[in-house]
Amino acid sequence: MERSKIIGSSPARPEQLILVGGRPVALPDAVTAPEWALERDNVQNQRIKVTLGLIQMLEGVLDSNYAILHCSPDRLQEIYRRVREVADSLRSHLGPLLEEPSILPRLEGARRSARASFDVLSNTTLRDLESRPERLPADGLQPLRKMLCVTIGKLHSFLQETFGRIMEADPRSQFDRDYYLSKRFPRDVEEAEWLYRGVINLSDYVSAILEDATEAIEPMVQRLRRDELLPVPSAWQGVLDFVGLLRDLTRKLHEILALRGIRFDEMELLDLYARRLPAKFHQMTALYDAGKDIAERIKASTPETLPLREQALTDLLHAHAAVATRVAALGQEILAMILDLNAFLPIWHRSIGERRALLLYGSPIEAPSQGSAPSS
C-alpha cells in the first residue's frame, strides 16, 4: 500500500487532509493528521501486514476439501502443522492488534466487528484446535480430516473478512482496486467458472443417466417384485450395460470434487454419491450372481423321487424370492440416489451462480441480466 502523506488542512475546509495516490483525502472531524500517522504506523499497518501474512500462510495449504480428505498422511501432517501455526499467530499477534482502538470512527467500527468475530472464532474453532495434540495420531484420521476442512474454511473466511473490513475503513483504502488487479482475482474467477461449467455438464450427464436407469433398472425392479424370480442372463444384460455409465458418472463426480470453491457440505454430499452408487451397484450384481449360483446348485442336486423333487422346487422358489427381493431393493436404492442427485444438481448450480455473481459484482445486488445494456 502506498504510504500516505500529510498535507495539513484546506482554508475552505477545516478538515485535516492526507495525500493518498496523489489525491487529497479528508480525515474525520477532530482527527489530526499526526494522530492518524501515529496510529497508522504503530497499529493499522501492523494489522494489515499480519492479516495478509496469515492469509498467505493459509493459502499454502488451501487445498480442496476432497484433497484434504484423501491426501497422504505426510501431506495431512503438513497441513495440520500449518493450520496450528496460523491459529497460534491469530492469538498472539492479530488478536492483540484487534484490541487496539482507533481514532477513526469507521475504522473503530470495523475493528469492533472484527474483534467480535475473533472472539467467536477463539471460543470455538481455535479452542477446539488447541485441545488436540501437536502431531496427528497414526490412525483414526478421518474425523480429523473433516475437522481440518471445516477449520481451514472458517480461518480463511475470518481472515478475508477481517482484511476487507479494516482495508475498507482505512482512509487510504484501495481494497477493491488492489483485489481486482491482483493475481488472486483472475484465479478466483477461473475457479468459479470451472466449477460453474463443470456442474452444468454434470447435471446434463446425470439427466441422461437417469433416462437410461429408468429404462434399464426400473422395469427390472418391478418384475422382480412381481414375479419374485431372478431374470435370465439375457434379461439381466441391460443392467450390466449400465455399469459403464455408472463408472463414468463416478469419474465425473471425482473430477468435480477436486475443484476449488466447493463448500464442505456440498463436498460431503457428492462424495457420498461417488462412493455409494458404485458400491450399491456392485452389491446388486454380486447378489444376483450369488442367487443364480444357488439356484443352479439346487437344480443340479434335485433328487429323482417325486416328494423330494417337490421340496427342491419349493426351496428353489424360496431362494429366488429371497434374493430377488433384495436385488429389487438395491435397484430401487440406486434409482432413488440418481433421482436425488438429479434434483440436487440444478439447485446447487443456482447456488454456485449466486456465489459467482457475488464474486464478479462484489455485492448482493442483483447482477445485470444478459439482455440489459451495461451501465456507463
pLDDT tens per residue across span 16-31: 766 555 566 667 777 7
Confidence of residue 14 (pLDDT cuts 50, 70, 90): very low
* Terminal Cα distance for the chain, rounded: 29
Confidence of residue 260 (pLDDT cuts 50, 70, 90): low
Confidence of residue 188 (pLDDT cuts 50, 70, 90): low
**CA pair distance 202, 208, nearest whole angstrom:** 10
Q: Are residues 256 and 337 in the same domain?
A: yes
Q: Are residues 268 and 162 in the same domain?
A: no
**CA pair distance 336, 283, nearest whole angstrom:** 16
Mean pLDDT of 156-170: 85
**CA pair distance 355, 352, nearest whole angstrom:** 5
User: Which of 144, 179, 214 delimits the end of a domain?
Assistant: 179
High-pLDDT (> 70) share of the chain, %: 80
The interaxial angle of helices 306-361 and 264-300, nearest 10 deg, is 170
Q: Are residues 210 and 255 in the same domain?
A: yes
Q: Are residues 258 and 196 in the same domain?
A: yes
Q: Are 211 and 218 in contact (CB under 8 A)?
A: no
From residue 294, alpha-carbon distances to 228, 233, 287 in Å are 15, 15, 10
Q: Are residues 99 and 67 in the same domain?
A: yes
DSSP state of 24: E
Nearest to 154 by CA among 12, 58, 228, 88: 58
Confidence of residue 339 (pLDDT cuts 50, 70, 90): very high
Mean pLDDT of 241-263: 80
Q: Are residues 174 and 198 in the same domain?
A: no
Nearest to 266 by CA among 164, 363, 149, 137: 149
Residue 97 resides in a domain: yes
Grid coordinates representing 150?
471445516
Nearest to 40 by CA among 52, 53, 27: 27
Q: Are 325 and 228 in contact (CB under 8 A)?
A: yes
Q: Are residues 205 and 278 in the same domain?
A: yes
Q: Are residues 94 and 10 in the same domain?
A: yes
Say yes or no to pLDDT of 175 above 50.
no
Best-predicted range by mean pLDDT (44-48, 177-181, 253-257, 300-304): 44-48
Tell me which of 22-36, 62-76, 94-108, 349-363 is least confident: 349-363
Residue 375 resides in a domain: no
Q: Are 122 and 95 in contact (CB under 8 A)?
A: yes
* Torsion sign (Cα): 184, 190, 194, 197: positive
Tell me which of 28-32, 174-178, 353-357 is least confident: 174-178
Confidence of residue 375 (pLDDT cuts 50, 70, 90): very low
Q: What is the CA radius of gyration of the chain?
A: 31
Residue 310 resides in a domain: yes
Cβ neighbours of residue 60 under 8 Å, at least 6 residues apart?
Answer: 82
**Domains in the chain, number:** 2
User: Which of 160, 179, 198 delimits the end of a domain?
Assistant: 179
Q: Number of C-alpha atoms within 13 angstroms, CB side, residue 357?
A: 14
User: Which of 179, 205, 223 delimits the end of a domain?
Assistant: 179
**What is the residue-wise DSSP string for 153-194?**
HHHHHHHHHHHHHHHHTSTT--HHHHHHHSSHHHHHHHHHHH
Cβ neighbours of residue 54 under 8 Å, at least 6 residues apart?
Answer: 86, 89, 90, 94, 159
| Cβ atoms within 10 Å, residue 325 | 12
**CA pair distance 133, 123, nearest whole angstrom:** 18
Q: Which helix (H) or strand (E) holds 5?
A: strand 5-9
Say yes or no to pLDDT of 40 above 80.
yes
Q: Are residues 254 and 128 in the same domain?
A: no
Residue 326 resides in a domain: yes
Q: Are residues 251 and 113 in the same domain?
A: no
Q: How high is the mean pLDDT of the chain?
A: 79
Residue 370 resides in a domain: no
pLDDT of residue 97: 94
pLDDT of residue 58: 87
Q: Are residues 162 and 255 in the same domain?
A: no
pLDDT of residue 356: 58
| Spatial strand order in the sheet of 23-26 | 5-9, 16-20, 23-26
Residue 366 resides in a domain: no
Residue 353 resides in a domain: yes
High-pLDDT (> 90) share of the chain, %: 21
pLDDT of residue 168: 81
Question: What residue numbers bound the domain in which 55 lies?
Answer: 5-179
Say yes or no to pLDDT of 11 above 60.
no
State if pTM tops 0.85.
Answer: no
pLDDT of residue 21: 52
Bigger pLDDT: 73 vs 26: 73
Q: Are residues 122 and 26 in the same domain?
A: yes
**CA pair distance 182, 10, nearest whole angstrom:** 34
Confidence of residue 13 (pLDDT cuts 50, 70, 90): very low
Residue 246 resides in a domain: yes
Best-predicted range by mean pLDDT (37-41, 168-172, 355-359): 37-41
Confidence of residue 191 (pLDDT cuts 50, 70, 90): low
